[in-house]
Amino acid sequence: MKYLGDIFGVGTSELLIILAIVLLLFGGKKLPELFKSAGTSVRELRKGLEGTDEKKVSQKTENN
């Protein structure tokens, strides 16, 4: 499994700098809310992608 830094070509130190900048921009109170909404978005995206595959499979079986 690839690490997050390997995927985007960003090392650990760069990720820490980015997180520090995000913390400065949004503040400590907004940060949990920001990550919660990002997690919800990722969850909905995965749900949507899985639903697309299921629809294709069901359409193929109905056509045969």
* Domain range annotation of the chain: 4-63
Higher pLDDT, residue 27 or 59? 27
Q: Degrees (nearest 5) of the Cα angle 36, 38, 42?
A: 115
Count of CB atoms within 10 A of residue 26's CB?
14
Question: What pLDDT digit, counting tens, does each position of 31-58 carry?
Answer: 888 889 988 998 998 888 888 655 565 6
Percentage of the chain beyond pLDDT 90 is 9
The helix (run of H) or strand (run of E) holding residue 23 is: helix 12-63
Question: In this predicted structure, what is the pLDDT of residue 58?
Answer: 60
